[in-house]
């Protein structure tokens, strides 16, 4: 008797490059090995860095010994946390909000998600179910998981130019021309709020204004992925500028934001995130309808967001003192990243490495699109045990005062000798 089995049509799926690279690095016994692959913050000693403010809050929570700390939350998540996350993203004064701000808050429907990945997935699924866009436009290149997430949502993916390899700069002209000519009314345009992954290249404020105008005129739907607020520049205000501009200056345009707390709180494994849907009408009824429909999707997938990590974020953001300490931690991380960019650039200039390397210091955030070829990346790994993605994307956090000269010498060698 014939049996039905999924195995008859199951084909191999390529494994995730980043996690494969991390496993290879972990197995490598070479003493000078360097990991420039995975996107996590590391100290100058190459160690994980639990934020001091997070460690302080963890102790406080342990001392409080709240007996309800393992209980279920609401389907939409921890509501006080969601209000804090919304205020942080959109720039509301949580304690002394004006009447105008209180009214504006009614435009935003917020739910908790499983970090930024879950927020992106939930947003894609919600739009695919209710808006049914013909296409989603992703930057070329973009975070690789964006392709997977929108494939799962069943929305056709298209790409707009973003990176110009010859100049290693933002191809803003190509981006705007493509969206102008080919994007259709109701299409989704995915935008990185700051610290674009993988290139580290962001539009200027003037360019963001042009993008907003184009979206409004062509009736495109902006979908912001905000993974680095505060981590990129050290300022939560600066890194949310694009989102806040769209929200404040384009009130007749709906949009949404996938918000992650993995990088800016160092809560990578805690999976803390939120999804915000912005309506054009400030009304409790329509906001609650959006939340209810999001909750329907959440209930069928994961029931509710994780509690532990959001409790840490909530504790920090409800205390002026702890928030100030968090701001200082953000400056520590962003400053070290910027210092390592400068150090690598200086070493390459000192070595007179062929080509121009200003893009390393002009880029922003955790990653640098180095411009190295796949063959050069392979040579770096095989000859020098320096690990980065085949695209040439390097996690600047993996650099330190101890290894930056070694990495620069390795890059200099492969650039001179490998095509």
Q: Which CATH number do you get for residue 411?
A: 3.90.1150.10
What is the side-by-side order of every strand in the sheet holding 188-192? 108-114, 272-278, 255-260, 221-226, 188-192, 136-140, 157-161
Q: What residue numbers bound the domain in which 22 lies?
A: 16-50+333-417
**Would residue 6 count as lying in a domain?**
no
Q: Do 25 and 158 fall into the same domain? A: no
Instruction: Indicate the residue among 318, 345, 377 that finishes a domain.
Output: 318
User: CA-CA distance, 73 to 181, in Å (whole number)?
Assistant: 46
Q: Percent of the chain, pLDDT > 90?
A: 83
Q: Do 237 and 367 fall into the same domain? A: no
Q: Do 139 and 33 fall into the same domain? A: no
Name the pTM for this structure: 0.93
Q: Do 412 and 274 fall into the same domain? A: no
What does the pLDDT read at residue 8? 75
Instruction: Indicate the residue among 318, 351, 373 that finishes a domain.
Output: 318
**Would residue 7 count as lying in a domain?**
no
Catalytic choice (105, 158, 250, 263): 263
Decide if pLDDT at 1 tops 70.
no
Q: Is 20 a catalytic residue?
A: no
Q: Do 342 and 392 fall into the same domain? A: yes
Q: Do 311 and 347 fall into the same domain? A: no
Per-residue pLDDT tens over the stretch 392-405: 999 999 999 999 99
User: CA-CA distance, 184 to 327, in Å (whole number)?
Assistant: 41
Q: Do 267 and 368 fall into the same domain? A: no
Q: Do 278 and 168 fall into the same domain? A: yes
Per-residue pLDDT tens over the stretch 230-273: 999 999 999 999 999 999 999 999 999 999 999 999 999 999 99
> How many C-beta atoms lie closer than 10 Å to residue 386's C-beta?
26
Q: Do 341 and 311 fall into the same domain? A: no
Distances (CA, A) of 35 to 221, 366, 372, 376: 37, 13, 16, 16
- Tell me the mean pLDDT in the region 370-392: 93
Q: What is the CATH number of the domain that holds 112?
A: 3.40.640.10
Tokens of 158: 């298209």
| DSSP character string of 229-295 | TTTTTS-HHHHTHHHHHHHHH-TTS-EEEEEE-TTTTT-GGGTEEEEEEE-SS--HHHHHHHHHHHH
Q: Are 259 and 275 in contact (CB under 8 A)?
A: yes
User: CA-CA distance, 333 to 230, in Å (whole number)?
Assistant: 9
Q: Is 143 a catalytic residue?
A: yes
Q: Do 99 and 30 fall into the same domain? A: no
Catalytic choice (49, 137, 143, 357): 143
Instruction: Indicate the residue among 318, 342, 372 that finishes a domain.
Output: 318
Angle of helix 241-249 versus helix 205-218 axis, rounded to 10: 40
Q: Structurally, how many domains does the chain consist of?
A: 2
Per-residue pLDDT tens over the stretch 41-79: 999 998 999 999 999 999 999 999 999 889 889 999 999
Q: Do 384 and 303 fall into the same domain? A: no
Catalytic choice (78, 187, 225, 239): 225
Q: Do 251 and 223 fall into the same domain? A: yes
């Amino acid at each position: 008797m014939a049996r039905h089995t999924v195995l008859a049509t199951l084909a191999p799926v390529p494994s995730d490059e980043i996690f494969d690279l991390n496993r290879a690095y972990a197995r490598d016994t070479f003493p000078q090995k360097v990991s420039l692959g995975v996107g996590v913050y590391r100290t100058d000693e190459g160690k994980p860095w639990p934020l001091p403010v997070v460690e302080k809050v963890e102790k406080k929570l342990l001392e409080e010994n709240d007996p309800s700390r393992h209980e279920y939350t609401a389907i939409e998540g921890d509501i006080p946390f969601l209000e804090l996350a919304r205020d942080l993203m959109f720039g509301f004064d949580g304690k002394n909000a004006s009447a105008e701000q209180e009214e504006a808050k009614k435009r935003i429907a917020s739910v908790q998600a499983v970090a930024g990945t879950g927020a992106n997935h939930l947003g894609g699924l919600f739009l695919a179910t209710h808006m049914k866009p013909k296409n989603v436009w992703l930057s070329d290149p973009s975070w690789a998981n964006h392709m997977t997430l929108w494939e799962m949502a069943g929305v056709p993916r298209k790409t707009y130019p973003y990176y110009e390899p010859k100049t290693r700069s933002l191809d803003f002209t190509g981006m705007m021309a493509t969206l102008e000519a080919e994007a259709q009314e109701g299409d989704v345009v995915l935008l990185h709020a700051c610290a674009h992954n993988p290139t580290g290249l962001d539009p200027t404020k003037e360019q963001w204004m042009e993008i907003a105008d184009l979206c409004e005129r062509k009736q495109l739907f902006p979908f912001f992925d905000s993974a680095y607020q505060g981590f990129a520049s050290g300022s939560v205000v600066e890194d949310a500028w694009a989102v806040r501009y769209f929200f404040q200056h384009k009130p007749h345009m709906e949009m949404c934001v996938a918000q992650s707390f993995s990088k800016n709180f160092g809560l990578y494994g805690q999976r803390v995130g939120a999804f915000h849907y912005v309506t054009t009408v400030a009304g409790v009824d329509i906001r609650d309808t959006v939340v209810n429909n999001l909750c329907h999707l959440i209930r069928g997938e994961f029931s509710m967001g994780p509690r532990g990590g959001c409790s840490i974020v909530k504790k920090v953001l409800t205390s002026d003192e702890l928030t100030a300490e968090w701001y200082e931690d953000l400056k520590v991380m962003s400053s070290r990243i910027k210092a390592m960019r400068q150090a690598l650039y200086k070493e390459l200039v000192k070595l007179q490495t062929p080509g121009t390397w200003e893009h390393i210091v002009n880029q922003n955030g955790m990653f640098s699109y180095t411009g190295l070829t796949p063959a050069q990346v392979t040579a770096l790994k095989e000859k020098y045990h320096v690990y980065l993605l085949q695209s040439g994307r390097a996690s600047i956090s993996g650099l330190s005062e101890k290894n930056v000269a070694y990495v620069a010498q390795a890059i200099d060698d492969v650039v001179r000798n490998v095509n």
